[in-house]
Amino acid sequence: MKYINLHTHDKYSDGKGDPADFINSAIEKKMGGIGFSSHSPVPLPNSWSMKLENTGKYIEDINNQKVLFKKEIPVYLGLELDYIENLDVKSYIGFDKLNLDFYLAAVHYIYIEKLDIYDTVDDNITVFKKILEEGFDHSMESFYTKYFETYRMMINEYRPLILAHLDLIKKNNGNNVYYNENDESYVAQVLMTLDEIKKHDCVLEVNTGGMSRGYTSDTYPSLWILKECRKRKIRVTVNADAHQKDNIDFMFDFAVSNIRKAGYTSIYQFVEGTFKEHAI
């Protein structure tokens, strides 16, 4: 099976390198396709999203690459589209007129009611601790509950085809410092979210980006969650969340072996605009 990666960040958001660098890397690795998924612009200041004024240039660039590499590898134009509670990201970026091949729906921001601010769940440990202490009165349960509630809101409002890093909140939870994934309330939040995913027939990505950047020892989502996905017959795909060209297939064999361990016998891959099933 030739791997396809849809989750790629180049210089237009927080990745390193031109789109062509990533495409050449994908060709060298004999991959079956590559999609670009710059972080969508958002109406909040940050260092990692694409700037609104660069959106047109990004789209033009990727569309040009599609033509240039036509004979060598399929190239897909996408975005990692943020969902932010009560902020209309789609309108902000003129989403309906972008003519994308795909998008990955993602939650990075949550609304922190106590402080009346938005902040991200995957920032560095100092920010994470501050949110936990000041935003949620040291209650990790309240923190992750808010995260998964927001994720479910995203599914209901966007009705997306592809979902990014389901349990991103575990990024700062190495060695179970803040919570245990066996905690009853954590399990309940995850399972409620899986039911929503199944209801809307979304494709869930198995993302190796936490591992390639040294944050996690496992994929997003964790193996136990993949087993629960399997029970519900949720379709899964493999993505790298690559921020540099060498990582566009980072530990895909490991991800597929995790998927197999969860009981799956196939994954889904994005080919010419639709997901096709591939035996593993």
CB of 14 to Zn ion, least distance (A): 8
Q: Does 26 bind Zn ion (CB under 5 A)?
A: no
* Residue closer to Zn ion, measured from CB, 35 or 74: 35
Q: Rounded distance, CA 250 to CA 162, Å? A: 19
Please check whether residue 188 is in contact with residue 175, taking contact to mean a CB–CB distance below 8 angstroms: no
Please check whether residue 204 is in contact with residue 234, taking contact to mean a CB–CB distance below 8 angstroms: yes
CB of 71 to Zn ion, least distance (A): 28
Q: Does 10 bind Zn ion (CB under 5 A)?
A: no
* Residue closer to Zn ion, measured from CB, 218 or 241: 241
Positions of E strands within 54-193: 75-82, 102-106, 109-112, 117-120, 162-163
Which of 241, 244, 267, 268 forms a contact with Zn ion (CB under 5 A)? Answer: 241
CB of 165 to Zn ion, least distance (A): 6
Q: Does 218 bind Zn ion (CB under 5 A)?
A: no
Percent of the chain that is helix, strand, coil (3-state, to 5):
40, 20, 40
Q: Does 106 bind Zn ion (CB under 5 A)?
A: yes
Count the residues of the shown chain that bind Zn ion, applying the rule CB under 5 A: 3
* Residue closer to Zn ion, measured from CB, 80 or 167: 80
Tokens coding 213: 């950047």
Q: Does 82 bind Zn ion (CB under 5 A)?
A: no
Q: Rounded distance, CA 157 to CA 85, Å? A: 10
Which positions lie near Zn ion, rule CB under 5 A?
Answer: 80, 106, 241
